[in-house]
Amino acid sequence: MRVLVQRVSSAHVSVDGQIVGAIEPEGQGLLALVGVTHTDDSATAQRMAEKLWQLRILDDQLSAADVGAPILVVSQFTLYADTAKGRRPSWNAAAPGPVAEPLVDEFAEALRRLGATVATGRFGAHMQVELVNDGPVTVLLEL
């Protein structure tokens, strides 16, 4: 599992012109773009949620857990693009939808169990993500 995390002052995701998930933190929040690979499982989703929740990338080296920062979770299989050969990325390392969707859902639910306020995109949909990256701060998490 790969999670590209951006510290944001606001973020929302739309499908067909309708906002399906949004966070408007009083301070800072996190946008988590989540990619799933073939070897990921429920334990991976749980560990990654814990890592993100405790990640100290907010002001004053605080974590989302420290300040209750909201998190917008958006699936993004393109995080597993292989661009080593040619001009067309290969998506072979990305798990197929029937495998990836429940794991993205488990990741979001694990964050909720940890105490996070979580909004989500819509798996498999063509989404438009708008955000204000604060810093900018962008970090790639992998296990």
Within its chain, how far is the Cα of 53 from the centroid?
11
Within its chain, how far is the Cα of 83 from the centroid?
21
Quick one: average pLDDT of 112-128?
98
Domain residues for the domain of 86 are 2-142
pLDDT, tens digit, 9 for 90 and up, residues 84-116: 999 999 999 999 999 999 999 999 999 999 999
Question: Which CATH number fits the domain that encloses residue 80?
Answer: 3.50.80.10
Quick one: average pLDDT of 49-53?
98
How many angstroms separate the first and last alpha carbons of the chain? 7
**How, if at all, do strands 71-75 and 29-35 pair?**
parallel
Percent of the chain exceeding pLDDT 90 equals 98
User: What's the chain's average pLDDT?
Assistant: 97
What are the residue numbers of the active site? 76-78
The DSSP bridge partners found for residue 94 are 37
User: Looking at the 3D structure of the chain, how many domains does it have?
Assistant: 1
